[in-house]
A and B are shown apart, each in its own frame.
Chain A
Amino acid sequence: MATTITKTETLVGKRIRRKEDPRLITGTATYVDDIQMPGMHHACILRSPHGAARIRSINIKPAINQAGVVAVFIGKDIEAVGPVPCGASLPGLRVPAHSILAKDRVYYVGHPVAVAVATDRYIARDAIDLIEVDYEPLQAVSDPEKALEPGAPAVHPEWPDNTAFTFHQEGGEPEKAFKEAEVVVKQRITSQRLVPTSIETRGVVADYRSAEKNLTLYSSTQIPHLLRTLVAQMLGLAENRMRVITPEVGGGFGSKLNVYAEEALMGFVAMKIGKPVKWIESRRENFLCTIHGRGHVDYYEIAARRDGTVLGLRLKLIQDLGAYHQLLTPAIPTLSVLMMPGLYKFRNVIADIVGVFTNCVPTDAYRGAGRPEATHGIERMMDLLALELKMDPAELRLKNFPGKGEFPYLTATGLSYDSGDYAAPLKKALDMVDYHKLRNAQRDAKAKGRLMGIGISTYGEICAFGPSPATPAGGWESATVKIEPSGKVTVLTGTSPHGQGEETTFAQIAADELGVSMDDIIVLHGDTSIVQYGIGTFGSRSTAVGGPALYYALQDLKAKIKKFGEMLLESDDVTCSGGQCICNKTGKTIEFAQIAAASYRAMKLPPNTEPGLMATHFWEPPNFAFPFGAHIVVSEVDRDTGQVEIQRYVAVDDCVNIINPLLVDGQIHGGVAQGLGQALCEQAVYDENAQLITGELMDYALPKASTMPYIETGHTITPSPVNPLGVKGVGEAGTIGCSPAVVNSVVDALSHLGVRHIDMPLTSEKLWKLVRQGGQA
């Protein structure tokens, strides 16, 4: 009966290998493309090759006449399907009608125009080559600043200024701060468009059972429940007749925090043809049609006193939105504005966002979503100020942090930083690199003509999304814990982990709370018919919001266990821990598994207690969480070629309590890799006709394992009251801290040539030109 092994060791805080890994590294995990069904059909989507064009006519006959092709649908066939939803609302936001297939016009290269459905994927692919579309190409615009110029081609003819929204925020007295400033530093800083490039592209299988009117949608998504609610709405289905299953997801990085046209389209197709249908996105489509990240042109001004005290910050932010709003598109730059002061005591800030339509695929959340851009901006500006004042950049930063005693610290943008000691990770990072010695070494190197630089960034992060009033669709999270009659434990989480490792970390938490072995715990997620409603995995929220939900569910369950323990031990002085209840008077014990069996057998129940052992908790976070940290990069630029070598990379993060250091390090490493990608090599380039010319991995440069530096990680722990586990979030920290540290180090390496700023990516040719021209770009 008692199969549960009682354990005494605490698991939270241990480097434990992931429970997920065996299936992933042995190739036995199930992804969307692994799903096979009897009678399954395959869909292939015809997409616009033009950045902007009018569709004069579409002839589907040659395609539909092919053997094996069962249907071809175009824009006029999907009139009844609702638009692709935008969940963000801003005052005066212009929302273009975003139908799942183009109607009389295409707005970006990759815009879906038709879908062909066939008995196999080869026939479906052949079929789209046979569809004849007569396009009248129109002038397109891909550069957001050019799109704002008078006379620029209008992305949406109804809004010739290409402006989707403007957004203003200010705090304190910015005008006064700038008037009184002893020094003002200005710089235009860009954060280029990036392609999220998850290893697994998107994919959907839709299965409609007409007799039951049930639609099951398998999708590689980060938000199964929201997807169900929104796609059911688009298709006019009863939500309770729709089920979303998220099999294994091979990476998302925010790109799957969305509701895409194809998800509704496959539901529509399955309902029309009465057969299951599969669509798997190709890598080309992934580049062209899955959201991109970043896409900022920022104009910064910083006001300060000569002693380095920062006074005011002004930002004009131009956000390249692309042609449409995806789920959160317009909201992303508002996060940049919230975080624009970074960790510094700017009491006076003013920001204006212009959201600009371009003939490009929409931008949306990509690892960090708005915060890497903001951190890049403020950290570059702090270095520019240090340069202007001839101050050490570390000293300037330390001078402007709020003190330990000032928390909770209210920012000029209206956030309440819950807890922090911002000097701690910076000081730790400075110690790790032996900063003063390093500066001496740099002086020696430069004297010998070597271009060595040291770059510092500190970052604050808004994560644990988030208090519901501040989010578009609820910011709480849910957990259910069941102890099965045999004593085995099942955890259901509303988050949707896809590589983060919550099957392990949540099992660690549950194992500690219940005193059972991790092997007796299973964590389930990503199936709307199994898991109670949840919000999903994004914004460094799974552990920081999903974790406390689990914690409270465990407390409820433990209370119920105690009631059963008291009844079964016939005592009111019972302690429950270590997988058993013990009567403090008699010393008699009873295992949780025995209690579980008794609770389901229900021969006798404690007063006012239901049978069974299950508890569910929906947890609403009182605030965001604000982890922070510091990165230091030592780099050297090859004078002859402009190539950058990262010689040291130090990352110190304060995400408070660490549940599994192995996974935290993994998140930092992965985050830094993506930050290095932005800093050094990645860029989505649209040409002036809005053709994406880095449309494949042959031309879009991702960082590779062989080019990664060794990353030295460190941690500080500053207790936080924000949740009972004392956890913040770490999924995006590496990315957020990285790019400014890298660029600051390279600018530092070239500063004696008069270089003040370099826009990313730091390609070798760009740096070589700066070296050759003595700093003049």
Chain B
Amino acid sequence: MKVGGSYTLPLLRQRAHELLQDPAILARCMPGCEDLKKIGPDEYEMQMKVVVSAVQGLFAGKVRITDQKPPESFRLIVEGSGKVGFMKGDGLLTLVPATVTTGVSILGSEGTEVRYEGDVQVGGTLAGVGQRLLDSTAKMIIRKFFEKLAEAGAETEQAAIVP
């Protein structure tokens, strides 16, 4: 399944890039992330509990970041598996300076558009019976991730500015 889209963060590009590499931030923003451990350079181990309506799945997996071109782009590979199935997402994230049109940013209107484009493979029960809802749920999870990232970004900016 192809996924693609963009989300504008009220953050400068450098900062947005840093946040996207910060395990603590990632752990906080990935919906259902219960544990994220660094196991190597740009490689993390992760436990996730994804809850969507009544559906819940425990996934154990890995997050890898490759093709680093800070602060412009990087490739994100997320793999996870659990009883309900397994998934692998492989996407290129491109960060482009942009103007924030909605929401409040302490930076005024300067922001970063994160464009993502990639492929999600799903297997097991989820793939066999979840087709109808995969697209809308994947979009929802990505949306939630960026919302939380924007939130976290705003907080850290605040912390940096307020002594």
Binding site for B on A (CB under 8 A): 49-50, 109, 129, 284, 287-288, 687, 689, 691-696, 698-699
Contact = CB atoms under 8 A, between A and B. Distances in A.
A38 to B, nearest CB: 33
Contacts of A50: 123
B94 to A, nearest CB: 25
Given A687-B121, A699-B129, 12 more contacts: A49-B85, A49-B123, A49-B125, A50-B123, A129-B83, A284-B128, A689-B123, A691-B122, A693-B131, A695-B125, A699-B131, A699-B132
Interface string B113-149: 0000000011111011101100000000000000000
Contacts of A288: 128
8 contacts: A49-B123, A109-B128, A691-B127, A695-B125, A695-B128, A698-B132, A699-B129, A699-B131
A687 B127 contact: yes
A692 B83 contact: no
A776 B85 CA distance: 39
Nearest to A692: B128
A696 B126 CA distance: 11
Contact of B128 (A129, A689, A696): A696
Contact of A695 (B83, B86, B121, B127): B127
B55 to A, nearest CB: 14
B131 A49 contact: no
A695 B132 CA distance: 11
Given A49-B85, A49-B86, A129-B83, A693 B127 contact: yes
B159 to A, nearest CB: 43
Interface string B27-62: 000000000000000000000000000000000000
Nearest to A688: B121
B153 to A, nearest CB: 35
Nearest to B133: A698
Given A49-B85, A49-B86, A129-B83, A287 B123 contact: no
Q: Max chain A CB contacts within 10 Å: which of B83, B122, B131, B132? A: B131
A698 B123 contact: no
B83 A698 contact: no
B81 to A, nearest CB: 8
B1 to A, nearest CB: 8
Contacts of B124: 49, 691
Q: Max chain A CB contacts within 10 Å: which of B86, B123, B128, B129? A: B128
Nearest to B134: A693
Contacts of B125: 49, 284, 695
Interface residues of B, number: 13
B129 to A, nearest CB: 4
Contacts of B85: 49
Nearest to A699: B131
Contacts of B127: 687, 691-693, 695
Contacts of B122: 691
Leading 7 A-B pairs by shortest Cβ distance: A695-B128, A49-B124, A691-B127, A696-B129, A693-B131, A699-B131, A691-B123
A125 to B, nearest CB: 12
Nearest to A49: B124
A288 B125 CA distance: 11
A698 B124 CA distance: 16
A50 B127 CA distance: 11
Contacts of A689: 121, 123
A692 B131 CA distance: 10
A694 B121 CA distance: 15
A689 B128 CA distance: 12
Q: Max chain B CB contacts within 10 Å: which of A49, A284, A692? A: A49
A699 B127 CA distance: 11
A287 B127 CA distance: 13
A695 B129 contact: yes
Contacts of B121: 687, 689
A624 B124 CA distance: 44
A693 B83 CA distance: 17
Q: Max chain A CB contacts within 10 Å: which of B83, B124, B129? A: B129
Contacts of B129: 284, 695-696, 698-699
A24 B129 CA distance: 31
A693 B120 CA distance: 14
B71 to A, nearest CB: 33
Contacts of A692: 127-128
Nearest to A696: B129
A699 B129 CA distance: 7
Q: Max chain B CB contacts within 10 Å: which of A687, A691, A699? A: A691
B128 to A, nearest CB: 3
A109 B86 CA distance: 13
B151 to A, nearest CB: 35
B154 to A, nearest CB: 39
Contacts of A687: 121, 127
B128 A691 contact: yes
Contacts of B131: 693-694, 699
Nearest to A697: B129
A52 B123 CA distance: 12
A137 B124 CA distance: 12
A523 B120 CA distance: 56
Q: Max chain B CB contacts within 10 Å: which of A288, A687, A694? A: A687
A713 B116 CA distance: 57
A206 B129 CA distance: 31
Contacts of A691: 122-124, 127-128
Contacts of A694: 131
A694 B132 CA distance: 10
Contacts of A699: 129, 131-132
Contacts of A696: 128-129
Nearest to B124: A49
Q: Max chain A CB contacts within 10 Å: which of B83, B123, B132? A: B123
Contacts of A698: 129, 132
A288 B123 CA distance: 13
A695 B85 CA distance: 13
A183 to B, nearest CB: 43
Contacts of A695: 125, 127-129
A284 B83 CA distance: 15
Nearest to B1: A687
Contacts of B86: 49
B66 to A, nearest CB: 19
Contacts of B128: 109, 284, 287-288, 691-693, 695-696
Contacts of A109: 123, 128
A696 B122 CA distance: 16
